[in-house]
Structure 1
């Protein structure tokens, strides 16, 4: 899955849920904050599907269980 698609999916889900979304560029990663939950995503153009699912699952407490399906 493309990195931009991962970020777009999180951004849209946050907007639909009405929670704040913020992207912070760190040294080697991109920090994503959704409703107070912070996670990082590597700056690779292609993100492995397993990694993307684990990244999505970190926001389940804010966006709901299985929100990415």
Structure 2
């Protein structure tokens, strides 16, 4: 880790790969959640890349009982 790297738990948004590791959910499942929730406030599109907003997704994740 370089001195300029931000730890994953301090990042505002995560790539699908980072979010998959952080939340222990598969990347395909995360993509499916984005597709099923097109108006959700817990992700943003950076071009064609999905960025998961960590704190809003944590709140969303807390409301789920099954994924």
**Per the shorter chain, which TM-score range?**
0.3 to 0.5
Bigger proportion of residues as strand: 1
TM-score by length of 2: 0.34
TM-score by length of 1: 0.34
Which is higher, the Rg of structure 1 or of structure 2?
Answer: 2
